[in-house]
Homo-oligomer: A and B are copies of this chain.
Amino acid sequence: MQFPPARPYSRLTIILLYGALGGLLIAALQLIEYRWLVLEHSIQIYGGLVAALFAAFGIWLGRRVTGTRERVVVQEVLVPAPSDFTRDERKVAALGLTPRELEILELIASGLSNKEIGERVHVSENTVKTHSSRVFAKLGAQRRTQAVQLGKELRLIP
């Protein structure tokens, strides 16, 4: 699962908190002066303190409100699977290819002629031609090389 970047406090809450902290700080500084920091240049000292503290606070607030930008880097990882062939049975069914037709297509892809295929599977060359014609029609191919190319693209044959 994916979570969005966390932003636990709303901007309004932060601003209110900021105001309260500012008031407390001013009061504390005043208290400090009245109690034991009655120096000649105390105004510069706690002026600088206020400046530094609120600048730091502002930096923190600025970072927080700004939020983190995300840059999505798409990294292509090569799946090490060129060898494992699994037939796309959905496409086979969608095209209406029969097992015999797939078998003939595979033998065509292996570079055999119709006659050789016929001898291989013990049917006549004419039968092979019928099968191949049906395969071509179902694949929309005009040539056996085209049928082979389509068959490989569609993951019908290895």
Contacts and interface: CB of A to CB of B under 8 A. Distances in A.
A38 B48 CA distance: 20
Interface in A41-70: 43-44, 46-48, 50-63, 65-70
Contacts of A61: 55, 58-59, 62
A126 interface: no
Q: How many copies does the complex hold?
A: 2
A113 interface: yes
Interface in A26-45: 26, 29-30, 33, 43-44
Given A79-B79, A148-B148, 5 more contacts: A61-B62, A68-B70, A74-B75, A78-B81, A78-B84
Interface of A: 18, 22, 25-26, 29-30, 33, 43-44, 46-48, 50-63, 65-82, 84, 108-113, 141-150
18 contacts: A22-B55, A29-B47, A30-B43, A50-B50, A50-B54, A51-B51, A54-B54, A54-B55, A59-B59, A62-B63, A69-B69, A71-B71, A71-B72, A75-B75, A77-B78, A78-B79, A111-B149, A148-B148
